[in-house]
Structure 1
Amino acid sequence: MSERWKLGWLESYNAYTGEPERFVYRPGDDEHTRICVRGENCDEDARRIVASVNACLGTPTETLEAGVVVVPVEVAREYVESHRVPPTPNAAENQRRIERAIAATQRLDEHLAAALSRLQQNGGARR
């Protein structure tokens, strides 16, 4: 995995245009790989670039190009845990009632299917 990108400390101005500029770089590369950000919002834009590139480290480019959202497992776990509903005192009883209702519905479906089958076999007439 590549090293994380960083925001350059020094604010500078373009020698030709006088525009403010800020550098974003990845330490460890030969002569640092750099991105020059220019314009009025260069500080904000440079910070966004650093945050975006670092957030995407380790995600294949094809995944990013496909527009797939990738959430780290730890972040997903924290989200699930923070939204977990604590069990209520009657949770176990409610679960048992739900299971009994499901079983009764399944038995009813079986009886109805058997009755329909008998009706079809008898040509609609009852014996």
Structure 2
Amino acid sequence: MRSISKLLTCLACFVCAGCSKETSNQNRYLEGSYSGKFIVNYKNQDQTFTGDVTVRFKADSFFCTANKNRFPAGGSGTYKIVGDQIIFKDKNIWTADFDWALILNYDYTYSFDGKDLNLSKAPYQNNSYIYKLTKD
């Protein structure tokens, strides 16, 4: 019985290691620095704001620059790619006096052609959050 338990534990470790390696390989696909524009459209207010932005990817970490007006607010932490989504996990502590969707955090649909990277947050409270980036 103990041998079977050991075998199952080893098998589970092997499967997890394979998953981790696959995610790591996908993340290397994006490694580098990207510059471009951040665009937020507040549909209820009929207002659009833009800001210059740089996003850097290294291994499973990301760093996003911020602007004084918080368009975007920035962010840094870890990320993983799942299908056509990049899931960002910001590690910072934030004040409560602005729209937290301006932080590069949670799920974004992405497209990447080897040079241009576009990130789009699913409509959140009817607003859109888009990063249009080009690899430096």
TM-score, scaled to structure 1: 0.23
The higher-RCO structure (CA 8 Å, 6+ apart) is 2
Structure whose CA Rg is larger: 1
Instruction: Select the structure that is richer in strand.
Output: 2
Instruction: Select the structure that is richer in helix.
Output: 1
